Chain A
């Protein structure tokens, strides 16, 4: 009874096996992600933007299960809207990160998504928060997703304190490019979001414009 095997994308969970990164500079943050969404071995979306706005100057980067990550982002987006109306001003990045952390922690057994929250607010400037499995920690930069394993060495070596906006953008693009080349679940194009006090800038870098390295 050798029937045709069911295509994987019908039975496998949709994951954003991915590479995400966020880094803070003096005056703002840069977030970056790849664009591949996979279900088992199929790529079901090759241009997904995994950088999701939580508020005007606060974004989050999604990784893990696509459904879980998107749901958390949407819930926090709503909760932040309500919160910012209550306090009458723009919310702090820490508040957004805490809301994400609360959901991640409370439902940690059911969910499998990791969000990195980054943004700019008037009080503390640019901030990056990691919320893996329900912890909340502020870091100068954070990487996540399946592709991040391959670039731990690179980011450890290359990160320097006090980089400016352009250097941070280049750092993010280089890191994404290296991870996308090595991780089967990361690929496509690179999305970049830069947030500072003047505004939010979204950018897409197409595959052939990504930096290449010695064996390419």
Chain B
């Protein structure tokens, strides 16, 4: 974990963070915490939004250096909107993920950013893709990222079930984020969640005092 901080001191504001995305029956939930910190000592923002919309039904979460991630997403958004005009249809989720992957892979020496991409398209329904630091792209049903994710691997493995209902999935995501924020000192603040289905997009913000509490608090 120390390695993240020393690198981030060179690159500027960095997120220790917790991000998560999970598929449920009919849609996908993507969420994150809201803390941005410098070197693990100072919280530079308590309410930063790490869930970014790149298209109508496609959202991304950033991890790693916030500066790098924001730059990549800005470039990806413009690629994607041009692509969707050319195709005359909304872009596929995998297209968004591939655009991010190309940028991360081609510039892997300079960048230190990873992404979760989640969304819904008419071809494959709800999907979640992970673009890791070096530019690997894989599809998963549930995925977590960021420094806080270490602490919830066990919880996510144990508690995620395929084909949950929307409510169950939202509860699962909120619990997972709350647990990670409780153990990781560079994750915290509020939980930002976005629910994406065929019908539309819904933002859910769970403020700190409404987060689920577990028996040691």
Chain A residues engaging chain B, CB cutoff 8 angstroms: 149-161, 174-175, 178-179, 181-182, 213-215
Contacts and interface: CB of A to CB of B under 8 A. Distances in A.
B175 interface: yes
Contacts of B182: 156
A150 B158 contact: no
How many B residues touch the partner, as a band? 20 to 34
A149 B151 contact: yes
Given A158-B158, A181-B157, 15 more contacts: A152-B151, A153-B151, A153-B154, A153-B156, A153-B179, A154-B158, A156-B215, A156-B216, A157-B155, A157-B159, A157-B175, A159-B216, A161-B215, A178-B154, A214-B162
A157 B157 CA distance: 13
Given A214-B160, A214-B161, A214-B162, A154 B154 contact: yes
Contacts of A181: 157
A48 to B, nearest CB: 22
A154 B175 CA distance: 10
A173 B5 CA distance: 34
13 contacts: A149-B151, A150-B151, A151-B153, A152-B154, A153-B152, A153-B155, A156-B182, A156-B215, A156-B216, A161-B215, A175-B154, A178-B153, A178-B158
A205 to B, nearest CB: 17
Interface in B176-200: 176, 179-180, 182-183
Most buried by A among B154, B161, B180, B215: B154
B215 A182 contact: no
B150 interface: yes
B214 A215 contact: no
A150 B215 contact: no
Contacts, number: 67
Contacts of B158: 154, 158, 174, 178, 213
Interface of B: 141, 150-162, 175-176, 179-180, 182-183, 214-216
A23 to B, nearest CB: 13
A215 B156 CA distance: 11
Contacts of B150: 149-150
Contact of A156 (B153, B157, B161, B179): B179
Given A152-B183, A156-B214, A159-B215, A215 B157 contact: yes
B216 A150 contact: no
A156 B179 CA distance: 7
Most buried by B among A150, A156, A181, A213: A156
A164 B212 CA distance: 25
B106 to A, nearest CB: 30
Contact of A178 (B141, B157, B214): B157
Contacts of A154: 152, 154-155, 157-158
Given A152-B183, A153-B176, A153-B180, A179 B215 contact: no
Contacts of B155: 151, 153-154, 156-157
A157 B183 contact: no
A143 B216 CA distance: 14
Nearest to A174: B158
A156 B154 CA distance: 11
Nearest to B161: A214
